[in-house]
């Protein structure tokens, strides 16, 4: 039998794993330079042939992501969107369907944590955390599912957090509760709409080195000492190093692609082994 070989030219000639797909990435901006989850997902999906429709509530941040996509020869469309606003989300998906005819992939990447246990956190902050981390995903799923049903199927990837699985070093009860609920939102939606060809899965990132560390977390948890916070986080990871947004994005890419055609209602944990260690 003749041995098959794969050359660089063969690789370049093959279509991408998302070629021809329309992929919406919510939270596609970034709080600073580097690979946040949303920005990495947008760029990697575009590299794999998707037309990416990028949303964020920060116009400048999502513009930078779109410019990176276009710099690499990809196609990106940007929308300023507050994914916690029911009317705005409904209008966005209606516009998206008019403009593109369908939505093949949805990635819900919006989130943010606030410190505090049940005794310390205000009721207002509790509601805000649920709205930001859970309701945002619910609203986008709500409005994309009818579009996907009409088109004969699609893939939804929701982003949770290791905090939704276990204690990760700080009391953030609302964030942890919301991210745990995102996993169950995905599971229930996956079962209900499986007959319609819609797959729903969750990526669960651990303590990655994303721009959020420098922009916000170091001030909140380490008195502004970025290196100290990075050392604390890395010490929890059995692999001995921290990933970044690209690791989340590659997991999302698998779940969005036809390679995951038999995968629905489950999670991929991207944490270097942190959530399964005992100490």
Q: Active-site positions?
A: 175
Contact 269, 204 (CB under 8 A): yes
Whole-number Å distance between alpha carbons of 267 and 42: 20
Classify the C-alpha dihedral 38-43-47-50 as positive or negative: positive
Report the chain's terminal Cα–Cα distance, integer Å: 52
Nearest to 26 by CA among 90, 79, 91: 79
DSSP labels, 181-218:
HHHHHHHHHHHHHGGGTEEEEEEEE-S---HHIIIIIH
- 155 with 147: CB under 8 angstroms? no
CB atoms closer than 10 angstroms to residue 130: 18
Angle, helices 136-151/86-100, rounded to nearest 10 degrees:
30
């Amino acid at each position: 039998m003749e041995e098959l070989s794969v050359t660089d030219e063969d690789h370049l000639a093959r279509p991408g794993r998302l070629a021809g797909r329309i992929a919406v990435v919510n939270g596609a901006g970034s709080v600073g330079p580097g690979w946040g989850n949303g920005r990495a997902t947008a760029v990697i999906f575009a590299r794999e042939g998707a037309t990416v429709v990028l949303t964020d509530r920060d116009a400048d941040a999502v513009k930078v992501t779109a410019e990176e996509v276009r710099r690499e020869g990809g196609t990106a469309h940007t929308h300023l969107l507050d994914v916690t606003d029911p009317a705005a989300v409904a209008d966005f998906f209606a516009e998206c369907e008019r403009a593109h005819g369908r939505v093949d992939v949805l990635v819900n990447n919006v989130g943010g944590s606030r410190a505090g246990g049940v005794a310390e956190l205000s009721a207002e902050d509790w509601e805000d955390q649920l709205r930001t981390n859970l309701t945002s995903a619910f609203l986008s799923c709500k409005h994309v599912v009818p579009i996907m049903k009409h088109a004969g199927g699609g893939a939804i990837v929701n982003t949770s957090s290791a905090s939704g699985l276990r204690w990760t070093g700080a009391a953030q009860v609302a964030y942890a509760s919301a991210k745990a609920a995102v996993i169950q939102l995905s599971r229930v939606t996956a079962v209900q709409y499986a007959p319609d060809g819609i797959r729903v899965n969750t990526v669960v990132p651990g303590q990655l080195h994303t721009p959020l560390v420098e922009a916000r977390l170091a001030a909140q948890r380490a008195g502004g000492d970025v290196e100290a916070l990075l050392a604390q986080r890395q010490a929890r990871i059995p692999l001995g190093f921290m990933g970044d947004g690209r690791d989340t994005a590659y997991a999302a890419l698998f779940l969005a692609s036809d390679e995951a055609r038999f995968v629905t209602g489950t999670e991929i944990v991207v944490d270097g082994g942190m959530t399964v260690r005992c100490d």
